[in-house]
């Protein structure tokens, strides 16, 4: 799964990586412990097919949901069942997005303890997680945009930690993934593969990352 990640590349690198621009400086502030329920930068194709980046809340609420409390159980979507689950079928067909990230965390169970590790791509300073978004409206007509991160079976590097990992898209696939008019679902599904072992690294980090309120560069420093 993917329950925490880091985002600290900075405005210029994010805008260059995804071909977006924004004057909202808060969007690009470093976040070393992005957690569910937070508003985080997400790239999507908006009206008039213009690519944009904006703050969406992590934890998908389907447009048809009557109870928004389900959001925390929908922080991830399994790649294998996107066309089967009612919560994800429509977003997969029309509302795909990309979640910028510098790296992510995973925990290894050792007895009763959970040991945190930081994982990153060696060939991408800014990764793009495959995501889905949806728009939910409350009874008063107030809109809430939320997102989920798609996961796939873990590669051999991550298997000792967890059996799932976030989908890291290839840059050449960004345009088709974001395009709501692109309907070759076989090709879209083929994008949702584990990232290659040899292009990733992981190392143990401080237990401080276990608490969502902790946030700083010390969270990604290696612990020997």
- Catalytic sites, residue numbers: 2, 106
Nearest-Å Rg of the Cα atoms of the chain is 17
- What does each C-alpha distance from 216 to 41, 83, 93, 141, 202 come to in angstroms? 18, 38, 37, 37, 18
Query: Would you state the structure tokens that stand for residue 136, as one six-digit string?
Result: 């939910």
Say how many C-beta atoms besides its own lie within 10 A of residue 104's C-beta: 26
């Amino acid at each position: 799964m993917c329950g925490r990640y880091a985002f600290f590349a900075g405005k210029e690198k994010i805008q260059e990586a995804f071909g977006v621009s924004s004057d909202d400086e808060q969007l690009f502030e470093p976040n070393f412990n992005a957690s569910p329920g937070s508003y985080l930068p997400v790239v999507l194709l908006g009206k008039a097919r213009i690519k944009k980046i904006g703050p969406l809340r992590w934890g998908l609420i389907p447009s048809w949901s009557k109870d928004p409390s389900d959001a925390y159980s929908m922080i991830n979507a399994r790649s294998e069942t996107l066309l089967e689950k009612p919560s994800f079928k429509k977003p997969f067909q029309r509302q795909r997005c990309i979640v910028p990230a510098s790296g992510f965390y995973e925990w290894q169970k050792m007895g009763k303890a959970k040991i945190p590790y930081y994982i990153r791509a060696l060939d991408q300073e800014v990764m793009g997680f495959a995501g889905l978004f949806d728009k939910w409206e409350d009874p008063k007509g107030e809109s809430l945009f939320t997102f989920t991160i798609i996961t796939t079976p873990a590669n051999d590097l991550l298997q000792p930690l967890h059996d799932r990992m976030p989908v890291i898209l290839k840059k050449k696939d960004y345009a088709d993934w974001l395009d709501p008019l692109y309907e070759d679902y076989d090709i879209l599904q083929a994008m949702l593969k584990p990232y290659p072992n040899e292009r990733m690294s992981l190392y143990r980090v401080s237990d401080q990352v276990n608490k969502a309120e902790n946030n700083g560069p010390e969270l990604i420093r290696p612990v020997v």
